[in-house]
Each structure stands twice: as C-alpha cells, then as structure tokens.
Chain A
Amino acid sequence: AIRMTQSPSSFSASTGDRVTITCRASQRISSYLAWYQQKPGRAPKLLIYAASTLQSGVPSRFSGSGSGTDFTLTISYLQSEDFATYYCQQYYSYPPLTFGGGTKVEIK
C-alpha cells in the first residue's frame, strides 16, 4: 500500500498568512493526488485533484503543486474560514486508496 505522509501535523497561523502543507507519497504516484478540507463536525470537501486542478467553486487562494512523490497545498492569504484540517489522498494505485494523516491549521 502507498503511504501518504503529511507535514506538519498541525500548526498555528494568522489570517493573511501564506501557508504551505506538504504531502509525501511512499512511491511515485504521478499527479494522482487530491486535497480535502474538513471542518469539525462536517464532511470533507474536495479542494484540488490531479495535484493542481482546482475544484469548481474553490477560491483561487488555494493551489496545489507537485508530482511524483512530493506535493504541496498552498493557501496564499489565509482567511478565517480556512482554519480546518487538510488531508491529501492518492488514487494512483488501489486498493487501498490512501489518505495522509491530516494537517490541522489553527488560529495563532
């Protein structure tokens, strides 16, 4: 199974900050990577797929990059509604489809 490792697991930031979350795959997955946002008590929401394609309706301050084994999710200007937990997911090889452990973005 492909392991997805996210870093950091949590951090604090302020509104207006530029933040970057990293996801590393245990083997090459081309660009078969998605990013999700989850707020407490809510279902996950797709932000990005194919490593860098923004899902319809997602604000342009979110962007994704990378291919192979190393990927990043960047929020260019953190807004109050962006405080949440973020997950990466590979869909290059399955079963299993695998998620990273999550990165919680908290208010500083």
Chain B
Amino acid sequence: EVQLLESGGGLVQPGGSLRLSCAASGFTFSNYAMAWVRQAPGKGLEWVSAICGSGRCTYYADSVKGRFTISRDNSKNSMYVQMNSLRVEDTAIYYCAKGGGDLPSFFDYWGQGTPVIVSS
C-alpha cells in the first residue's frame, strides 16, 4: 500500500524558513517523480515543485523559484522542500504527491498534507 507522510509544517514569520519532509513507502521510490502541491485556504490546487526519480531534474513554479529547493534521498525513501524567504501568500496546506512515472506528470497518490502558516 502506497503511503506518503508529510511533516515539518507550522507557523513561521514572514522572511523565515521551513523544511518540509515527505516519507514514502509501498513503492519503489527511485522509479517515480515526486512533487509538492499546495492549497491556500479556500482556494484551488497549485503545483509548487517537482523532482524526477533520479533526483537529477527539478522544476519550480515561478512563484517559488529562487526561494524553495526540492530534493530527495532515495536511500531514505524521502523527499524534501526547503522553503526560504517565506511570504504571507505561501500560507497553504502542502501536499506531497507521487508522480505516475519517472518524470513529472499526473499524481496518483497524495499525502494528507501539512499546514504552513506564514504570519507575524
């Protein structure tokens, strides 16, 4: 059974940093792209970042480029996102999602989400 478990969310001041983690199980982690997708309160889904199975390719939304860094450790079946220079508009539930293949595509499994609140 595929399981994705996010952690690391919380309350942070504008300009602060946070590191989210996603622990995966139930599939061959290195064979699949992974991604972060967020949802601001009462809003729709917004793709944030993705990383291919090998970890050699990474992709970012313009809204987070230069501030967020996605990474993965295939030996630990884990994915991360380091979020720096956080803004109020980064407030959202952050979901970890498994891709349908080695490269970013659709997302066939999702974690339960971890909340990030950026506020002074």
Contacts and interface: CB of A to CB of B under 8 A. Distances in A.
Interface of A: 32, 34, 36, 38, 43-46, 49, 55, 87, 89, 91, 94-102
B108 A94 contact: no
B57 to A, nearest CB: 11
Task: Give chain A's interface secondary structure class.
Answer: loop
A95 B57 CA distance: 12
Contacts of B107: 34, 36, 44, 46, 89
B44 A46 contact: no
Interface of B: 35, 37, 44-47, 50, 59-62, 95, 100, 104-113
30 contacts: A32-B105, A34-B106, A34-B107, A43-B112, A44-B37, A45-B110, A46-B106, A46-B108, A49-B100, A49-B106, A49-B108, A55-B108, A87-B45, A89-B45, A89-B107, A91-B104, A91-B105, A94-B50, A94-B59, A94-B104, A95-B62, A96-B59, A96-B62, A97-B59, A98-B47, A99-B44, A99-B45, A99-B47, A102-B44, A102-B45
Contact of A99 (B46, B62, B109): B46
A38 to B, nearest CB: 8
A101 B95 CA distance: 17
B63 to A, nearest CB: 9
A66 B87 CA distance: 38
Contacts of A99: 44-47
Contact of B47 (A32, A55, A96): A96
B108 A44 contact: no
Contacts of B106: 34, 46, 49, 89, 91
Given A49-B100, A87-B45, A97 B35 contact: yes
A102 B57 CA distance: 29
B1 to A, nearest CB: 12
Contact of B61 (A32, A43, A96, A101): A96
B80 to A, nearest CB: 19
Contacts of A98: 47
